Amino acid sequence: MNKDNMKTGSLMQLGFWIAVIVMICIISTFEFKRFDLTSEKRHTLSEPTKELLSGLDDVVYVRVYLDGELPLGFRRLRTAIREKLDELRVYGGGHIQYEFVNPSEQADSRSREEYFMHLYEKGLRPANVDVTDSEGGRSQKIIFPSALVTYRGEEVPVNLLKNNPEKSADENLHNSIRSLEYELTAAVHSVVTPEREKVAFIEGHGELDEMLVNDIMNELSNYYEVYRGRIDVNDPGILDDYGAIIIAKPQEPLDEPEKYMIDQYIMNGGSVLWFVDPVAVDLDSLTYDSEAFALIKDLNIDDQLFRYGVRINPNLVMDLNCVMIPVNVALGDQEPRFEPAPWYFSPLLMPDDEHPVTRGINPVKGEFVSVIDTLEGNPEIDKTVLLKTSGNSRVMNAPMMVSLEMAKEQPDPSSFNMPPQPVAVMLEGSFRSVFANRMIEDIIGREDPGFRQEGETARMLVAADGDIIRNDVEIEDGRPEPLPLGYDRYSRQTFGNRDFVMNAVSYLLDDAGLMELRTRELSLRLLDRPRIREERLQWQMINVLLPVALIIMFGIIFNILRKRRFAR
């Protein structure tokens, strides 16, 4: 009787748990819940990302070109990308699909090179890595830590590796993993948005031509509609359709009607990126003549920027933290002999690692940069310094003589003792019109019933270096070919200029709130290598013996309990 009761009770208990499991499965088909037990919620997608994915109505296909035999760090990055795509697919359902491709699996070297060039032309950036084979030999391998995001024929390249030469491999890998959600979500947002924001390069004042901003225009065209043109002062609403306008290194002064059009564009919430050189001097001109005068340029925008909260000073910064240029060190009639020398007028500008625009980017290459002062007087304007020089700099006031001979001189460290100098500033808030309390009819030749003295909330970037946005050009087969923005042809390094400009435009036009993803903090937990060496044997023994000991102990306890139960 007792045995029958025990058997019946066991069956009832088994049936109860089966019913509970079935009920959980039924509920889970209607209710969805995930649990992220990490302290910084690294596996939890942000609300803008979830909202974007829930609104998909067709398949977004992500093709990741990071597969095959890879070094350990890139294998970790590949795993992180796969996990992030799986998270996106949880909320996007069947509308998120992906595959991993090995771009090096082509049959022969010629086909592989052609395929690499095909990927490069699509905007994917390659990386050269050292690979160690099974026999201990070392070789270099080209990999593409990048992806192509496709939706209804629209395609956007995504470069997923953040490679800052000033940081360790672990830190670069960490920054790359930290930015995965933003990079992938921003690409998805770009391809699924039916109407892209419009960005315009202003012309008519000697600004950089298409060849000199070719790289950034191509990059922007992946996400926005890009235009170039003059400001027609007879068309009051000519700027209204643009989300942002870019003023890239003007050489001639803006007239008052044009300034008025830009001012009212800002008052109505428009965004402006100012890349301005207040001092006229050019490195290319020094290659033909070893010295030149740096003269002050009157661009007729000082009063406008002053009203908005900044002042660009007519000076030049010299910095010991700078790029190298080839300088002829031969004497007299000797044959030219070029050696690299530091060019103090091309500083490496340090980004603010706390702001979404500059977080995690490489140093930005400058050329003949000036100092920006932020002004008090309008508490409604937030001013954030995004780029600054190092703490080993000095400031020279224009006019002055600039000579290539300066690169040959041994610098006096005591004269390079100024603190970091601000070079680029982000302004945010409600701006005041520079044309307040002025006769508008005398400026534009007509009345403007829509004139605003106080503006809507707006953003603008002011950089005291027009060359930040300028790419170099080299002559190939008699034709000019633009180089990537931020690429230094002498050191063959790529600096953060392109990322800086792209992030700035994205920040100014960020209506979806995606830029907040760049501020997410993920803790970098590095191993204590000295402690690993000291305690290696101890932890090896624990990892090997402890699981075995636990299994044996569990078996002993289970058998003791089993004997006691059936003894009764």
Task: Residue 71: give the domain boundaries.
Answer: 47-191
Torsion of CA 299, 300, 305, 306, to 10 degrees: 120
pLDDT for position 211? 94
Q: Take residue 414 and report the two structure tokens written for it.
A: 């005591």
Residue 367's contacts (CB-CB under 8 Å, 6 or more residues apart) are 283, 345, 346, 465, 467
Q: Does 437 lie in the same domain as 336?
A: yes
Domain edge (last residue) among 158, 174, 191: 191
Tell me how far apart the alpha carbons of residues 2 and 412 are, in angstroms, rounded to a whole number: 98
Amino acid of residue 297: K
Q: Could you tell me the CATH number of the domain that includes residue 404?
A: 3.40.50
pLDDT for position 568? 61
Residue 304's contacts (CB-CB under 8 Å, 6 or more residues apart) are 259, 262, 263, 434
Tell me how far apart the alpha carbons of residues 389 and 176 are, in angstroms, rounded to a whole number: 25
pLDDT for position 433? 94
Q: Report if residue 481 sits inside a domain.
A: yes
pLDDT for position 274? 97
Q: Does 435 lie in the same domain as 309?
A: yes
Placement of tokens 């290659």 in the chain: 287
Q: Does 217 lie in the same domain as 180?
A: no
pLDDT for position 100? 94
Pairing of strands 60-64, 96-100: parallel
Alpha-helical (H) ranges within 31-124 are 47-54, 72-92, 109-121
Q: Does 254 lie in the same domain as 358?
A: yes
Between the alpha carbon of residue 159 and those of residues 62, 66, 176, the distances in Å are 12, 11, 10
pLDDT for position 368? 94
Q: Report if residue 11 sits inside a domain.
A: no
Q: Does 202 lie in the same domain as 186?
A: no
Q: Report if residue 31 sits inside a domain.
A: no
Tell me how far apart the alpha carbons of residues 62 and 191 are, in angstroms, rounded to a whole number: 11
Q: Which residues pair with 449 in a beta bridge?
A: none
Number of domains into which the chain is organized: 2
pTM, to two decimals: 0.79
Q: Does 104 lie in the same domain as 235?
A: no
Q: Does 342 lie in the same domain as 388?
A: yes
Q: Report if residue 9 sits inside a domain.
A: no
How many C-beta atoms lie closer than 10 Å to residue 37's C-beta?
6
Q: Report if residue 2 sits inside a domain.
A: no
Q: Does 463 lie in the same domain as 380?
A: yes
Residue 524's contacts (CB-CB under 8 Å, 6 or more residues apart) are 170, 171, 174
Q: Take residue 229 and report the two structure tokens written for it.
A: 């043109």
Tell me how far apart the alpha carbons of residues 516 and 102 are, in angstroms, rounded to a whole number: 32
Per the CB < 8 A criterion, the answer to whether 149 and 95 are in contact is: no
Q: Report if residue 360 sits inside a domain.
A: yes
pLDDT for position 520? 59
Between the alpha carbon of residue 191 and those of residues 140, 155, 160, 187, the distances in Å are 34, 7, 17, 6
Q: Could you tell me the CATH number of the domain that includes residue 163?
A: 3.40.30
Q: Take residue 480 and report the two structure tokens written for it.
A: 């000019």
What does each of the 568 residues of the chain score in pLDDT, given as a tens digit?
Answer: 455 665 666 677 777 888 888 887 777 665 555 555 555 555 667 788 888 888 888 899 999 999 888 888 888 899 999 999 998 888 887 889 999 999 888 767 788 888 888 988 888 888 887 766 656 566 677 889 999 999 988 888 998 888 777 677 777 788 888 888 888 988 898 888 878 899 999 999 999 999 999 999 999 998 899 999 999 988 888 999 999 999 999 999 999 999 999 999 999 999 999 999 999 887 766 766 678 888 999 999 999 999 999 999 999 999 999 999 888 777 767 777 788 889 999 999 999 988 989 988 889 999 999 999 998 877 789 999 999 999 999 999 989 888 888 888 888 888 898 999 999 999 999 999 999 888 888 888 888 888 999 888 999 999 999 999 999 998 877 788 899 999 988 888 889 999 999 999 999 997 656 777 666 555 445 555 667 677 778 878 888 888 888 888 888 888 888 777 776 6
pLDDT for position 41? 56
Q: Is 430 helix (H, G, I), strand (E, B) or coil?
A: strand
